[in-house]
Amino acid sequence: MSWIQLKNVSKKFDDLEIIPPLNLEIKDGEFVVFVGPSGCGKSTLLRLIAGLEDVSSGQIFINGEDATEVSPAKRKLAMVFQSYALYPHMTVRKNISFPLRMAGVSNAEQVKKVDDAAKVLNLSEYLDRKPGQLSGGQRQRVAIGRAIVREPQAFLFDEPLSNLDAALRVGMRVEISELHKRLATTMIYVTHDQVEAMTMADKIVVLQNGKIEQVGSPLDLYRSPINTFVASFIGSPKMNIIEGVQASKHRSESIGIRPEHISISDTNGTWEGTIGVSEQLGSDTFFHVKCQFQDQSITVRAVGGLELAYGQTVFLTPDQKHLHRFDKSGLRIK
């Protein structure tokens, strides 16, 4: 149980600055998600916290103590890798007990702790198998088990679900969230998938090019994105960003309106357009509407089952209450 603080932490590889000086605080017991596009530095940041990489400058405090020079093992953090990184030549039991063995825990203790972890993760039947004989989801759980037995101060997850198929991913998401509720340990989770971020996080850190764009709860980021990058990144399908005349009508360089905040009618509305591609999900329908004032189609969410013909003329009305305004540098206008 700890709080983690990064003070002016930066990272350079050769002469390339991947992460400019950065400050972040993570409270005890929080589920924090680092999210951002590929190459934004989220994994690097995680590895700096883990101690697998040295910081180029700055300090990292864990539970009040300066851990900047401390080796990974001594930081009492546990990491679940994207590829699970299980030891292929050891059984599940040996994999999970490995950190205990390294810590010099007695054999009897090891057996007990492994059995406990296996029960929590439904792995008791597989303890004598080797990773090669397990499915993706099972390997995932072994990796988590190996982290749990260490009873770490915080769990670090590096895109743990990206190697699983879609259905499994949804299930594991819930399991990890439940684990967090049960253990109440700080968890830092890295993903490029904003759906995972939104559904699992207490606090989301949005990163781009090594810089923190915004920190906040999922709903904060959804309702009040601080710039166009965060506005476009959070929420699926993406928020519609409109520039030009339509934006200057609202005294802004650009405005943003989410698909779910636009109503569609075939008789009247603020903007006129023609239907392009329509995506029928059953629960919702998404229309890509081509309007005169820009090249990019506007995405609109409508009720499931609504069928409109390709090329049909429609009218869109954005909900003024949920209209976002951005200035020349992409920042939010209050």
Partner 1 sequence: MARAISKKNKIINSLIAWTIGLIIFFPILWIIILSFKTEGDAIRSPIAVIFSNWTFENYFVVQDRSDYFKHFYNSVFIAFGSTFLGILIAVPASWSMAFVPSKRTRGILLWMLSTKMLPAVGVLYPIYILFIALGILDSRVGLVVVLMLMNLPIIVWMLYTYFREIPEEILEASRMDGAGLREEILFVLTPMALPGIASTVLLNIILAWNEAFWTLNLTAAKAAPLTAFIASYSSPEGLFYAKLSAASVMAIAPILIMGWFSQKQLVRGLTFGAVK
Partner 2 sequence: MSTQQSRSAAKLMLAPAVFLLMAWMLVPLSMTLYFSFKKYLPLRGGDLGWVGFDNYTRFVSSSSFWPAIGTTFLIVGGVLVITVMLGILFALLLDQPFWGQGIVRIMFIAPFFVMPTVSGLVWKNMFMDPVNGFFAHLSKAFGSDPIQWLSQESILSLTIILSWQWLPFATLILLTAIQSLDSDQIEAAEMDGARLLGRFWFIIIPHLARAITIVILIQTIFLLAIFAEIFVTTAGAFGTKTLTYLIFQRVLESQNVGLGSAGGVYAIILANIIAIFLMRIVGKNLSD
The residues that touch partner 1, with contacts defined as CB under 8 A, are 50, 52, 71-73, 77-79, 81-83, 85-89, 98-99, 102-103, 146, 150
Token pair recorded at residue 24 = 């972040």
Alpha helices in the chain (DSSP H): 42-50, 92-102, 107-120, 136-148, 166-183, 194-200, 218-223, 228-233, 245-248
Of the candidate residues 17, 25, 28, 53, the single one contacting partner 2 (CB under 8 A): 53
Q: How far is the CB of 61 from partner 1 (least distance, A)?
A: 19
| 103, interface contact from partner 2, partner 1, none, CB < 5-8 Å by kind | partner 1
**Neighbouring residues of 219: CB distance < 8 A, sequence distance ≥ 6:** none
Is residue 71 involved in binding partner 2 (CB under 8 A)? yes
Q: Which is nearer to partner 1, 82 or 232 (CB)?
A: 82
| Binding-residue total with partner 2 (CB under 8 A) | 6
| Partner touching 215 among partner 1, partner 2, none, CB below 5 to 8 Å by kind | none
Residue from 7, 10, 52, 284 touching partner 2 (CB under 8 A): that is 52
| In the complex, least distance from residue 156 CB atom to partner 2, rounded to whole angstroms | 15
DSSP letter at 100 equals H
Encoded amino acid at 325, one letter: R
> Which one of partner 1, partner 2, none is in contact with 83 (Cβ closer than 5 to 8 A by kind)?
partner 1
CA distances from 43 to 39, 53, 157, 160 (A): 9, 11, 9, 12
CB of 220 to partner 2, least distance (A): 34
C-alpha–C-alpha distance, residues 232 and 222, integer Å:
10
Segment lying near partner 2 (by CB under 8 A), choices 52-60, 81-89, 173-181, 297-305: 52-60
Asked if the peptide bond before residue 237 counts as cis, ω within 30 degrees of 0, the response is yes
Judged on CB neighbours under 10 Å (0-12, 13-18, 19+), 281 is exposed
Q: Is 51 in the site for partner 2 (CB under 8 A)?
A: yes
Angle formed by the axes of helices 136-148 and 107-120, nearest 10°: 130
Q: How far is the CB of 78 from partner 1 (least distance, A)?
A: 7
Contact between 66 and 59 (Cβ < 8 Å): yes
For partner 1, the closer CB: 92 or 316:
92
Q: Considering only 27-35, 49-57, 79-87, 104-112, which stretch makes contact with partner 2 by CB under 8 A?
A: 49-57
User: Using the rule CB under 8 A, is 85 a contact of partner 2?
Assistant: no
Q: Which residues bind partner 2 (CB under 8 A)?
A: 47, 51-54, 71
